[in-house]
Amino acid sequence: MVAPEVSIPRDTLSRAAALHERAIVLREAMRLPEAERSCRRALALYQAAEGRRHPDVANALVELGQIVEGRDRLREAARHHSRAIAILVPAVRGQAPADPDLLRLLLRARVFLGGVERTLGRHAAADRLYARAQRDAIRDFGPKDPDVAGILNNRGVLRKSQGRYAEAVVFYRRALALLEGTRDKGSLATLHHNLGGIEHARGRYAAGEPHARRSVALRQAVLGRDHPAVAADVAALAALVDGRGRLDEAAALYGRALGVFRRTLGPKCAEVGLNLSNLAALRQRQGRAHEAERLYDQALAIQQRVYGRAHPEVALTVNNLAYLVREGGNLRRAEGLYARALRSFERALGPRHPHTRLCRRNLRTVSAQLARP
């Protein structure tokens, strides 16, 4: 049977809107290179038809920012979201009353920019953006709006990054209270993922494992087994299982997550780097030192490409590599690695963060060993 012919819109704005919608669908399917091409074409058409400061341009910029963030181009993502905000703020101020769709778009641009700033380790900027977004969301849409729950979750993630675990739990619980009873499985999965992550950071692995298992079940029911968001939940579960000493089970979970990330996001994405580092630490505990060092080296190559040499994620891998090197007896190299990690932690996280304090203790221990006759 011959398929019927479908007319394709010819005017510029219709083509731009169609390309924009296609970009959204492709991003959600994790076909990011295709999504980027479609979004850039939509952006060019919007600008040609309506000028560079039209809200449609801002909408395309927010979408493009999400796409390139998914491709680990974080600073570029920040530029796109910042430009969108610069377009939307005067557009909203010039209306009375303001268009709720534009208010929502501005809100989300600020939240997305806050997420990029947090990932880059620029915590103060992220905190300001999230606080402003929360105030605006409550004012414009009410305290029970789903976006308020999302912002509370993001503030919890930021507090965890800052080592302020008790505050993070408060934000997560407030978000969970807004979402319980809803059918938003994706958001509930994210909150259980993050609650499990907080318990992991506190060393309370048994308390975190049920949250992690629930996040996998919820998200997998929506997205299937082979989505990168599900893989991130599986990797978080692996870390908790690892902490409970079930190393073979954890290794299998890390392997499953890495397979999905490599297939969907590419072999050099940030998630692959993070999970190679975690798997390296597991192999180290299993006594497989040579394999662990190889995995750390692979992880560092990826993380430094994505984040730069001084990022706290890089510093965490450097700290763990130093521990491996120290166990192997190379105290001088371990001292240099600990010193490098400590400089990064102090700059990015401050002197009181748990990672900074632990790394400082590690460095003192190695330095003291080297000072002995």
What pLDDT digit, counting tens, does each position of 249-301 carry?
Answer: 999 999 999 999 999 999 999 999 999 999 999 999 999 999 999 999 999 99
Q: Rounded CA gap, 163 and 155, in Å?
A: 12
pLDDT at position 148 is 96
Task: Give the pLDDT confidence score for residue 80 in this predicted structure.
Answer: 98
Give me the pLDDT at residue 259, please: 97
Q: Does the pLDDT of residue 95 top 70, yes or no? A: yes
Residues 62 and 122 in one domain: yes
pLDDT category at 10 given cuts 50, 70, 90 is: low
Place 138 in a pLDDT band, splitting at 50, 70 and 90. Answer: very high
Mean pLDDT of 108-131: 97
% of the chain beyond a pLDDT of 70 = 97
Q: Is residue 317 part of a domain?
A: yes
Residue 90 lies in a domain: yes
Name the domain boundary from 215, 241, 257: 257
Is there a single domain that holds both residue 134 and residue 173?
Answer: no
Specify whether 26 is located in the same domain as 137: yes
Q: Please compute the mean of the pLDDT values over residues 6-17 and round it to a whole number.
A: 73
Q: 83: domain CATH number? A: 1.25.40.10
Q: Distance between alpha carbon 280 and the CA centroid of its chain, in Å?
A: 21
Last residue of a domain, one of 107, 123, 141: 141
**43 and 111 share a domain?**
yes
Shared-domain flag, residues 135 and 154: no
| Amino acid 164: pLDDT | 95
Tell me, yes or no, whether 180 and 216 share the same domain. yes
In a domain, 35, yes or no: yes
In this prediction the pTM is 0.85
Residue 252 and residue 358 share a domain? no
Confidence check: pLDDT of 2 > 50: no
Phi, psi of 330 (to 5 degrees): -90, 80
User: Does residue 355 belong to any structural domain of this protein?
Assistant: yes
Task: For residue 251, tell me if it sits in a domain.
Answer: yes
| Phi, psi torsion values for 125, nearest 5 degrees | -65, -40
Distant-in-sequence, close-in-space partners of 337: CB < 8 Å, separation ≥ 6: 318, 319, 321, 322, 325
Does residue 171 sit in the same domain as residue 130? no
Q: Are both 66 and 120 inside the same structural domain? A: yes
The per-residue pLDDT for range 166-205, each reduced to its tens digit, is 999 999 999 999 998 788 899 999 999 999 999 999 999 9
Say if residue 349's pLDDT is above 60.
yes
For residues 205 and 306, membership in a common domain is answered with no
What span, in angstroms and rounded, lies between the C-alpha atoms of 202 and 83?
Answer: 38
Asked whether residue 61 is domain-assigned, the answer is yes
Is the residue at 36 inside a domain?
yes
Do 125 and 158 have their domain in common? no
Average pLDDT, integer, range 118-142: 96
Residue 343: both structure tokens together? 């400089």
Residue 7 has pLDDT above 70, yes or no: no
**Predicted local confidence at residue 332, as pLDDT:** 96
Q: Among residues 116, 141, 166, which one ends one of the domains?
A: 141
| pLDDT value, residue 221 | 95
C-alpha distances in Å from residue 30, one per residue of 59, 103, 118, 203 = 19, 27, 22, 33
- The arithmetic mean of pLDDT across residues 94-103, rounded, is 89
Burial class (CB within 10 angstroms; exposed 0-12, middle 13-18, buried 19+) of 166: exposed
Return the residue matching tokens 């007319």: 7
The domain tally of the chain equals 3
Q: Is residue 224 assigned to a domain? A: yes
What is the span of the domain harbouring residue 67?
12-141
3 pLDDT exceeds 80? no
Give yes or no: residues 295 and 221 share one domain.
no
